[in-house]
A = this chain, B = another copy of it.
């Protein structure tokens, strides 16, 4: 038997297992699932410093950063446990019968149910929060879907340790065998087979455009296409308006030098594109930014592949006609370290050069200098879909540039005012996603409790005897959840 056949057999077995487990797992009660998620969080914490040390070894990420990310990951798991207990996420909707209407109105009750086994492809840059027990896994398990994680080859041992923590929780919580499965084969073929397997109901991915788009295409080519939520990063354009540049150049430069170089620029929300109108304010800001950038020490990137890609993509950008290096770090980078750097280009050149619209993953940003506000708007609107876009301005700036407020929502899923896009708060109002290619489906978010909505679909019951209804839809509302009953929200 060829290796490929053996791989396909293995994937087939994994997905069959996931399908069998789903039949039982989808029926688990909200409280049981909540305890299961909390148990995963506890088990991850119990891995202690050994986990942090192993991950730091595999990813070059420093311990304080990893400690923070671990906290975010366990917090996410507990947040979904809380969501399950609160219960309104199922969008229970009840329309009672009106027998004397013509024709008679039947009793109809709707709720969200899990779609089936979900395949998760984790991210290299978030070995915890967007990986094996990250947001995709947590939201899918919360939804009632079984999960198959394809381990990221950049942190295989970390992924195995986390998988062990989840598997232990499956057992101790009495969840069905294979509620969670871990696949370590890193091949292209494994990914394709996982996405195209008939048992696979949906796919979550965080990573590069190339990877995420390939999975989307595999899913769309299935006999029965399935939803794919690929979060593929973006260049997160930031607009600096004149009045704030005139008044706050020094602080803005500090703030943005830090954001551009944070974590060696390895965030999908890294501000890769700055946009402003020419003028003394801008030149003063650029001078400050150049000084700040030159003082920032290079940091190690995740692995050799990302490091090489950073230098290649940055050099490609710098080689474009009209692009000028503004500043780079004064410190010579050691092995695997990325040189923080910043360049400038004029608006007209940027508009004509698609290469400059592409992400350079690392501590690099490009300032587009526009001749007026029309060119600034044209530059902004020329961009593909983004995760975030940011407006830096004073009240005076916003009053002077009101039309920017209308454009912003068409650009991105998250619009920031006078802040930096790096840092994604985990809360109900967060939108992490955006128009293609920021994500493959801008109708959903990958962060916050609404991330669960990617893995569920509505089903309604018409004239179902009360005792046969799911608890969420029973007359007595035994779960005590908020429901829309005859068009009125109530908990009674």
* Contact partners of A106 in chain B: CB under 8 A: 419, 425
Q: What is the CB-to-nearest-CB distance from A105 to chain B, in angstroms, rounded to a whole number? A: 6
Q: How far is the CA of A412 from the CA of B110 in the complex (A)?
A: 13
18 A–B pairs (Cβ distance < 8 Å), ordered by A: A95-B427, A95-B429, A105-B425, A109-B429, A110-B431, A115-B442, A116-B410, A216-B225, A220-B220, A220-B225, A224-B384, A405-B468, A413-B459, A415-B461, A425-B462, A435-B457, A443-B456, A482-B489
Do B462 and A417 have beta carbons less than 8 Å apart? yes
* A103, A108, A110, A459: most-surrounded residue (chain B CB, <10 A): A459
Q: What is the CB-to-nearest-CB distance from A26 to chain B, in angstroms, rounded to a whole number? A: 8
Q: What is the CB-to-nearest-CB distance from A416 to chain B, in angstroms, rounded to a whole number? A: 4
Do A95 and B406 have beta carbons less than 8 Å apart? no
Q: Tell yes or no: A440 within 8 A of B by CB.
A: yes
**Could you tell me how many residues of chain A have their Cβ less than 8 Å away from some Cβ of chain B?**
72
Q: How far is the CA of A457 from the CA of B427 in the complex (A)?
A: 17
Q: Tell yes or no: A179 within 8 A of B by CB.
A: no
Query: With A385-B224, A440-B225, A456-B443 as given contacts, are A108 and B405 in contact (CB-CB < 8 Å)?
Result: no
Do A427 and B225 have beta carbons less than 8 Å apart? no
Q: What is the CB-to-nearest-CB distance from A112 to chain B, in angstroms, rounded to a whole number? A: 9
* Contact partners of A23 in chain B: CB under 8 A: 406
Query: With A417-B461, A459-B409 as given contacts, are A425 and B95 in contact (CB-CB < 8 Å)?
Result: yes
Q: Chain B residue with minimal CB distance to A431?
A: B460
Q: Tell yes or no: A430 within 8 A of B by CB.
A: yes
Q: Tell yes or no: A29 within 8 A of B by CB.
A: no
Q: Tell yes or no: A172 within 8 A of B by CB.
A: no
* Contact partners of A444 in chain B: CB under 8 A: 458
Q: How far is the CA of A445 from the CA of B110 in the complex (A)?
A: 11
Residues 39-75 of A at the B interface (beta carbon under 8 Å)? none
Query: With A225-B436, A395-B465 as given contacts, are A428 and B487 in contact (CB-CB < 8 Å)?
Result: yes
